[in-house]
Structure 1
Amino acid sequence: MHKILFCFLLFTTLSFSQSRSITGVVAEENNKPLESANVIAKPLQEKASLKFAIADNKGRYRLELEKAVKYEITVSYIGFVEEVFILEADAVVTTHDFKLKPTGEQLKEIVIKHEFKPIEIKKDTMTFNVKSFANGNERKMKEVLEKLPGVEVDKNGGVTVQGKKVTKMLVEGKSFFGGGSKLAVENIPADALDKIEVIDHFNEVGFMKQVSDSDELAMNVKLKADKKKFVFGDVEAGAEVGNADNGFYLGHAALFYYAPKTNLSFIGDLNNIGKRTFTFDDLMRFGGGMSTFLSGRKSLTNLYSFANDNQDVVQNTSQFGAFNFSHDTSSKLSISGFSIFSKVLTASQTESKNEYLQNSAIAFENRLQEGTNRSVLGIGNIKLDYSPSAKEKWYYNGQYQSSNNSISNTINSITNVNASIFETLNKADNTAIKQYIEWHKSYNLKHTTTLVINQAYDYNTPRTNWFTDQPFLAGLIPLQEDSAYRIEQVKKVKTNSVDALFKHYWIINNFNHLYTNVGNNYGNSRLETTEQQLLTNGNVNDFAMSGFGNSIKYQLNDAYVGLEYKFRIGKWTNKPGLYAHWYHLTTDQKSGERALTKTLLQPQWNSDYEFNKSESLNFVYKLENSFPQSTQLAEQFTLQNYNLVYKGNALLQNERFHNANLRYTKTNLYRGITWNAMASWNQKVRTIRNEIQLDGINQFNTPILSDNPETNYNVNGSFSKKIYRFNLRFNTNFSWFTYFQTLNNTETLNNRNNQRLGVVLRTAHKKWPGFSIGYNKGFSQFSGLTQSQFQTDAITSDFDISIAKFWTFKCSYENLKNTNSNKQSNFYDIANTSLRYQKKNSPFGFELMVNNLFDNKVKNDFSFSDYLISQRTTFVLPRVFMLSVSYKL
């Protein structure tokens, strides 16, 4: 270890000794700084690389140049004459200021003599030229993005730019598979990329950008000229070579066709090594099928089992296919859409040691759980984009979704009083049809109108059977004595919603806007549940006679009007708003029909202060109301788990809560520093929370509405600094959650707090091996009926290097240590590595990959909730040696 550290320090010292820097200021003739001016240093000899910088808000720039190299340094800025400075190879100059002269004329076009600029910054758009950052060894878009300054890609394919999450992914200006990021970053070949555009405050409708106040951040991929009418992509097949008895395999295809009018994409994946092709965020985007103007509608469809990598299982087989298309039928009409098919089969095994906290005692449970899950999903989506003129836009989007889930679960529960074995079989068929229509019209420079109508239909039919060898939930369910016990539950949930919004935008002048909103959200649902005991003699014990079995008709209508006033004072932009809502909630169930009508005011405020193009402060406040769902209002008992019975509360009313967010961002390109910080506050003044009755491990829950406040504070931030050819990043996250919990008729004030501190150091030079190492320290505390606390220590590292031109070696390592309040610790580490061979001009590539290099069998962790402390052991996939062959089109 000491030798490695010494070599690293020596390498760093030598690297610094082979460089020199030059700084200065770019300004107008009157010394006014020119923010975001491009400074490019072009080497005038071979085997030296081009360098660049962007001037900060004070016009300052800094160039890190190679020693003993002659450079031509050019500064350019729109509307000004370029200025060139020659820096000799042996020059001792360390500073140079540039004074640019205005062109003095309006140019129809600007001709830049350089082939490209590494980074271009305009008002809301930042463009990266991929050639400036990639070294040619990258295979997929993800590897390129990780080398762009201020851009980060997480392990699930999520992309952030300067701390803000990318919410829309485009290729050549068109949505890529609904706009999700993972399918793009992990499948688009790196050698097809020309430029990456990052567009803040993105809006699909160009003439709406000034008034929409969109908070979306879009990333647009611009392809190389030879890829814009070309079939490209790759296919890959792999099989296990270390232990053929395990039968691990991998098949993958990513194929793309892009032409001026027609774009086609296909992604297929087949593997049993725990790799999923898309994340839950992407799936929610696929399954949304709703207008972004009306995104508050909740979906009852549960699709968690289809998303995210899952190697914390003993078996995982995944089949996935996705097709995306877009076609411009004319200059006014384009058609786009996608289809998704996914089939996932998993088998899991966990062991848990649970402590159930009660007022006067603690119940202990050792639980062994084994299960299998088979999930099948199909989605079809089509979208029409019609522009009858430059000032009018129509959208229609229709989606059909069908899924099936089959779950088999066996639990061996051993407590301090008895032992039981429970087997659970669950099957659910889900169908959803969603569609919306949008109309946008700009009448003139002052008046614009939007009309949106959204419709959604869901029908879910889960069926559950519980099997056990002895009575359970004594006193909570009406069991009849039998030699074996089988409980059958059938649920039917049918929902339908129609939402509409009419919005008018009035631009009074450049500093004052007035927005008028009129809308209505209507939703109805029908929930039916039945539970019964199927006796071994063929008889049926219907639980309906003991208060089980729900049949509820639910209807909620929300009519509203709102006024928003946007005004600007210098660099400060504000948008206060006031909405009046008329809520009408009706339920019809066995106890009769109930109606609730309320008129509520909901104020809001959005404030932005822009210090300069690279520094801003944003504040958002809203007072909102949330009404209970049909499951919370269903007044009959429902069996939810082998140790849990639930009963709704027909008298519930709305929750009311304050929500505020403060966000600060700053980028100093001169110093290579990026700041991001956000603080949020959420306080419920009227709260719906479950009241819990706990007897041993058996639970009875029912929701109650109280005036007890719930307060949640969250503060997170990051700071990154470029130090020569390294990037150093610090990140923090702190949260405080305070709430009241009623357990066994005793009300307790609970506090749940978390703190996380992290640091990451990585190389930031395309000619160097890619290396990063990070450390995260986490603390968690819970206080209520008892005091508990946990700590986590995590180290992560990634390394990749090119060897002898054609070989690429990659390695990733992660270890995690968990420590509980009794100073008991558990530890696991995971390492994955690969060695790839591919000649630069050869379509074939060969890769040897090893997952779970150390062949760990289990993962361990601690967790806690309001009344449960758990230590869990999860069995994971074994070590996998896989040899794959890929072919690039």
Structure 2
Amino acid sequence: MKKNISLFLMLFFTVLTFAQKTVSGKITDDDGMAIPSASVTIEEPGKDAILAYGITNSKGEYKVTFTSAESNVDLKVKAFNQKPLTKQISNSDQNLNFKMQSEATEIKEVQLKTKMITARGDTISYDLKAFNSKNDRTLADVMRKIPGIEVNKDGTILYQGNAINKFYVNGKDLMEGGYGTINNSLPKDAVQKVEVLENHQPVKILQDKVPSDQAAINIKLKNSVTMTGRGEVGTGFGDPWLWNVKLTPMFFGQKSQWVVNYKTNNMGEQVENEGNILAFGSSWEGRRINAGQNNWLNVDNASTPDLPVRRYLMNNVHYLSANYLVNIDKKKEWELKANANYTNNTVERESYKQTDYFATANVPASKVTQNIFNNFYTDKLKGELIFTKNAKKGFFKNTTSFSQFWNADRAIADRVSTSLNTSTRHGEEALESPTSSFQNSLSTIIPWKEKMVNLRSFINYQTDKQTLNISPASYLEVPAFTPVNNSETVIQNFRLKTFEANHSANIGFSKSGWTFTPEVGFNFKRTSLTSNLYNLQYGNGQQGEIFNNDLTYTTAIPYGSLGVNFKSESWMLFANLPVNSNNIKAEDPLRNVSRTTNKVTFEPNIFVQYSFASFFKASVNGNISNNFGEVNSAYAGFVMLSPSSINAMDPNNPIPQNNTKSTGTRLEYRNPLNNLFFNVNYRFNDVKRNLIADPDRNSAGGIISRYIEQDNHAISNAYSAEIGKYFPKFKTNASVSYSNNTSRSDAYLNRGAYTNKNIVQSYGFKLNNTYFSWMSLDYNASISLTKQISTSLLPEYNNETSRNGFTHNLAVYFYPIENHTVGFSWDQVNSSIGSQKYNNAFYDISYQFSWAKKKIDFELKWMNIANRKVFETYDVNATYNSYTRIQLRPSQVMFTVKFNFK
């Protein structure tokens, strides 16, 4: 492994240093006046390939760095109303000035092709008209086709494979990271262009001092004041009656912006996740989190398939959100943002699973079949208030948010287990899980002479209360546990209270591109766990405190760190060098146990990036981190996490300690002149832990889990590459990708130790074509190859399995007559393990008439034409193999009216 890393780094730095040359100078016209915005490109003679390019500034100055093995290269200069100039120059560092001759530029020669993707400094602009098709309606429809940009299933926007840190509309961050609503509902006709802001530092006072390696997206609208939005109203035939309503009006002005959003459906569309925070900005802005529940307890859950959600989600959802931004001062430096959303959702799910457990030294081979039917009820309310000042002379941001959950889960389960005896059990399960959560984050940066003072504070308080009921008690089949006196119901009560406070202060010194930021801070977290498990006994009738918990887990970390940042035209570096004093205490008065750990750790985080030859970026990063566990690895009494799993820690175990070492490197190329983008990545992770799970499983699949003290490792190596290009002549955007992830981890089962190794390779291909006026096409395909190897001194744990998967999504739209569209989509998911092969195909067809004058679409769509009702898959791992059959949505027909608000 070390040889592989060394070879990779050697090649990496060879690319950086090989034959880099710089040409600089000044471009003027016949009268000696500077020519701004002239393009200067370097090409190899006889080849239509650009090596590097530059744009002259307002003084007519340019600078281009390139790499070539040729002895001579061609330098070309182009400018509006000037005669193009070409000169062959030597491959060497030099200063060259040029005087261009005036020549009228015919507008005919300035085609959209040259404006499709443009670059100026760290900003790359995409003209949306160059990438859309006749069937596209929203920003998200077009974004998926832009080279270098990818939209994940959860709505996260990636640029060159990395998540963006900001999403702006006309330069304003209305959504504060929850940009899914705008991306999915902003009409494409309102957008002029999409801008990618590379190396974007969102805090203005830091922009020349603290660099960033993340990109941001800015949506530039056609009008500075825009009232727009998108709506849909649909009804359908099925069992039950189907509906789909989407109403999202929007306003984007110079002083204020707002978005109101209401969406409801029962036809399998997961709209409630649009409010999730997808871009978290800069740590200098404070801390933001997606508030969620601490889901310790669970009912038996039916399986979900590896399919688009709309194929299997049996839902009834209502989602309402509102976002408002207003400038509250004349200079437009202060902003007030208010965000709120409410979700009410009911989900049904059903699956059948047959599991064949392999024999171990202590447990014979067995077969378990299980039918599970679920109802999941979600009631969630979230509100947020944000005050921000983001100016060159100071920064202030305070974010206050509150979340409340009233969730409930239900399960009806039938289980048949066979070993020496056959048992049939029926269970009804209910989980109530209300949660309250409050956070406040404050960050301010105050200029002090030539220095900057930054104060940050984050407070989080959350309570989780969960109650799991299982009836009858005889449904439980966990090793060594039996109901007390033929009890009707087993009840697990659980309560968690968490208080967290992080405070820090730093001061920044800047000089000659370097910024040094010494910082001191204090992080505190206190978690209290109380739980009671009723109507069970352990072993020979043990009851009482072994089923109770009263644990307080406290972490106090004072720290000091030094931040180092540097930015020049080619180099960017940022590093954080903290020294932490970790003080952890776990107190359990029920058992008179008090455990402590006091340890000083050095946890550096370093990133270096080098930009060269105009189009290349290369980076190296590494970090070391330590984690000393949470309350979920420190309690000692039994907790029933689910009807088939009971956990307990050993009070004599030490505090958990996890040490993670990580390093990675990346080579990135983006050339807007020939529409070519690619990136190559490598990452290595090594996690060392002092505790390892040691579960006991019986023939019914029930598990009791403990942890034992033993050093163990989890090591992973990940390689990935992606290349994409847009072909303007054919109006085609295509990309291919490859990834290889190898991981190895230590594990136990029934007191037997073994090692798991997983090798996962995947190949991806994407194609979008709008060349023909009568047709457009989108195609995505992926192939996955998975190998799992388990090795042990015990032969029953030795196992090697291979799994292959193929997925593709095809969408074709035909335009036979003006304003008429016929669409066809095909989702295919295949999997195979040995002789077990499963092919799952889904087909949809649609017809759409567009009332062009009113910008209204009428769509009739038939989904799941083949009426496939179940999804089948097969899985094999180190301890069992399983066959799963999952209930899907049946065939359904929807009629929908779609429209823009303006």
TM-score with structure 1 length normalisation? 0.83
Give the residue type in structure 1 aligned to 2:836: Q
Hey, what's the Cα distance between the residues in 2 that align with 1:732 and 1:56? 31
Partner of 1:773: 779
Query: What's the CA shift for 1:153?
Result: 2.5
Instruction: Give the equivalent residue in structure 2 for 1:677.
Output: 680
1:544 deviates by 5.1
Match of 1:462 among 466, 488, 507: 466
CA 731–37 in structure 1, closer or farther in 2 if over 3 Å, else same: farther
Residue aligning to 2:276:
283
- Residue 449 (str. 1) matches residue 453 (str. 2): yes
Partner of 2:712: 708
Residue 843 of structure 2 is matched in structure 1 by: 831
CA contact (8 A) 2:335 2:388 kept: yes
Post-superposition offset of 1:200: 2.3
Q: Deviations over 1:66-117 (max 9, x none)?
A: xxxxxxxxx9854448245899xxxxxxx9999995799xxxxxxx999994
Q: 1:258 aligns with which of 252, 257, 260?
A: 252
Q: Offset at 1:507?
A: 1.8
Compared with structure 1, are the counterparts of its residues 728 and 224 closer, same or farther at alpha carbon in structure 2 (3 Å cutoff)?
closer
Tell me how far apart the structure 2 counterparts of residues 258 and 670 of structure 1 sit (CA, whole Å): 32
- Give secondary structure in 1 for the equivalent of 2:309: coil
- What is the aligned partner in structure 1 of residue 178 from structure 2? 180
CA distance in 1 between partners of 2:120 and 2:673 (Å): 17
1:690 paired with 2:715, answer: no
Counterpart of 2:354 in structure 1 is 353
Whether 1:437 and 2:447 are equivalent positions in the alignment is: no
The whole-number CA distance in structure 2 between the counterparts of 1:314 and 1:565 is 48
For residues 102 and 362 of structure 1, the distance between their equivalents in structure 2, rounded to whole angstroms, comes to 85
1:384 matches 2:387: yes
Cα contact 2:692–2:707 (8 A) shared by 1: yes
Mean Cα deviation higher: 546-555 or 646-655: 646-655
What residue is the counterpart of 2:491 in the other structure?
Answer: 488
Task: Give the corresponding residue for 1:844.
Answer: 856
Task: Say if 1:38 and 1:117, in contact at 8 Å, map to a contact too.
Answer: no
5 Å-filtered alignment, 1:107-506, equals 117-134=115-132, 138-225=136-223, 228-240=224-236, 243=237, 245-279=239-273, 283-284=276-277, 293-294=286-287, 300-301=293-294, 310-311=309-310, 313=312, 315-330=314-329, 331=331, 332-360=333-361, 361-386=364-389, 390-416=392-418, 417-443=422-448, 446-468=450-472, 470=474, 472-473=476-477, 476-482=480-486, 485-506=488-509
Alignment of 1:739-818 (within 5 A): 739-763=745-769, 765=771, 769-784=775-790, 785=797, 786-818=799-831
Q: Contact 2:692–2:711 (CA<8 Å) still a contact in 1?
A: no
- Structure 1 residue runs of 5 or longer lacking an equivalent are 1-25, 40-53, 65-74, 88-94, 105-111, 536-540
- Which 10-residue stretch deviates more, 664-673 or 315-324? 664-673
Greater CA drift, 585-594 or 517-526: 585-594
**Which string of whole-angstrom CA distances, capped at 9 and with x for unpartnered residues, describes residues 444-496 of structure 1?**
5x5223211000111111111011373633653352242x6310111111101
In the superposition, relative to structure 1, how do residues 59 and 83 fare at CA in structure 2: closer, same or farther (>3 Å)?
Answer: farther
Cα displacement string for residues 494-531 of structure 1 (whole angstroms, at most 9, x for unaligned residues): 10111012232222323x33221211110111111111
- The structure-2 alpha-carbon separation of the partners of 1:390 and 1:212, relative to structure 1 and needing over 3 Å to count, comes to closer
Q: CA deviation at 1:371?
A: 0.8
Structure-2 residue corresponding to 1:556: 555
Cα deviation, residue 647, structure 1: 0.4
Tell me the CA shift for residue 300 of structure 1: 4.8
Shift of 1:137: 5.1
CA distance in 1, matches of 2:311, 2:528: 37
Asked whether the equivalents of residues 441 and 458 of structure 2 are also in contact (C-alpha less than 8 Å), the reply is yes
Q: Shift of the alpha carbon at 1:177?
A: 2.6
Q: What per-residue deviation string (whole Å, max 9, x for no partner) do you get for residues 209-267 of structure 1?
A: 23333343221112121xx4343223221111xx3553011111010122221211111
Aligned to 1:82: 79
Cα 1:690–1:866, aligned 2, differ >3 Å: closer, same or farther? farther
Structure 2, unmatched stretches of 5+, are 1-21, 29-33, 61-77, 90-95, 102-108, 791-796
- Supply the AA of the counterpart residue of 2:267: I
Query: CA contact under 8 A between 2:286 and 2:443: conserved in structure 1?
Result: no
- Answer yes or no: is the 8 Å Cα contact 1:652–1:704 preserved in 2: no
* 2:831 counterpart SS class: strand
Deviations 1:308-339 (CA, angstroms, capped at 9, x unpaired)? 97345473111111100001121342211211
Tell me what 2:578 maps to: 579
Give the 5 Å matches for 1:871-882: 871-882=883-894
2:380 maps to amino acid: L
Q: What letter is aligned with 2:708?
A: I
Equivalent position of 1:643 in the other structure:
644
Conservation of the 8 A alpha-carbon contact between 1:740 and 1:750? yes
1:885 pairs with 2:894: no
Separation of aligned partners in 2, 1:766 and 1:450: 56
Pick closer, same or farther for the CA change 1:662–1:864 going to 2, 3 Å.
farther
Whole-Å Cα distance in 2 between the matches of residues 760 and 772 of structure 1? 8
The answer as to whether partners of 1:665 and 1:677 remain within 8 angstroms in 2 is yes
CA distance in 1 between counterparts of 2:786 and 2:111 reads 54
CA contact (8 A) 1:554 1:588 kept: yes
Q: Displacement, 1:812?
A: 2.4
Q: Secondary structure at the match of 2:182?
A: helix
1:347-406 Cα distance to aligned partner (Å, 9 max, x none):
11111121334534433211111111110111000101136x741121111001011111
- Percent sequence identity over matched residues? 14
The residue aligned with 2:17 is: none
- Offset at residue 271 of structure 1 (A): 0.3
CA RMSD of aligned residues (A): 3.8
Question: Structure 1 residues 78, 745: CA separation in 2 closer, same or farther (over 3 Å shift)?
Answer: same
Distance 1:474 1:409, change over 3 A: closer
Contact 1:676 1:717 in 2 (8 A): yes
| Native 8 Å contact 2:427 2:475 kept in 1 | no
State the TM-score, normalizing by the size of structure 2. 0.82
Q: Which has the higher contact order (CA 8 A, sep 6+)?
A: 2
CA 1:620 to 1:172, structure 2 compared with 1: closer, same or farther past 3 Å?
same
- Contact 1:310–1:316, Cα closer than 8 Å, also in 2: no
Q: CA deviation at 1:649?
A: 3.8
Number of residue pairs the alignment of both structures matches: 809
Q: Cα–Cα, structure 1 residues 60 and 203, in superposed 2: closer, same or farther, change >3 Å?
A: farther
Matched, 1:618 2:631: no
Deviation at 1:428, TM superposition (A): 0.6
CA distance 1:692–1:410, change in 2 (3 Å): same
Amino acid at match of 2:447: S
Matches within 5 A, 1:1-16: none
User: 1:754: how far off?
Assistant: 1.1
2:655 corresponds, among 630, 634, 652, to 652
Match of 1:630?
A: 631
Distance 1:618 1:255, change over 3 A: same
For residues 128 and 404 of structure 1, do their structure 2 counterparts lie closer, same or farther at Cα, with a shift above 3 Å needed? same
Asked if 2 retains the 8 angstrom alpha-carbon contact of 1:232 and 1:255, the reply is yes
Preserved CA contact (<8 Å) 1:795 1:815: yes
Instruction: Tell me how far apart the structure 2 counterparts of residues 237 and 295 of structure 1 sit (CA, whole Å).
Output: 34
- Per-residue deviation, 1:712: 1.2
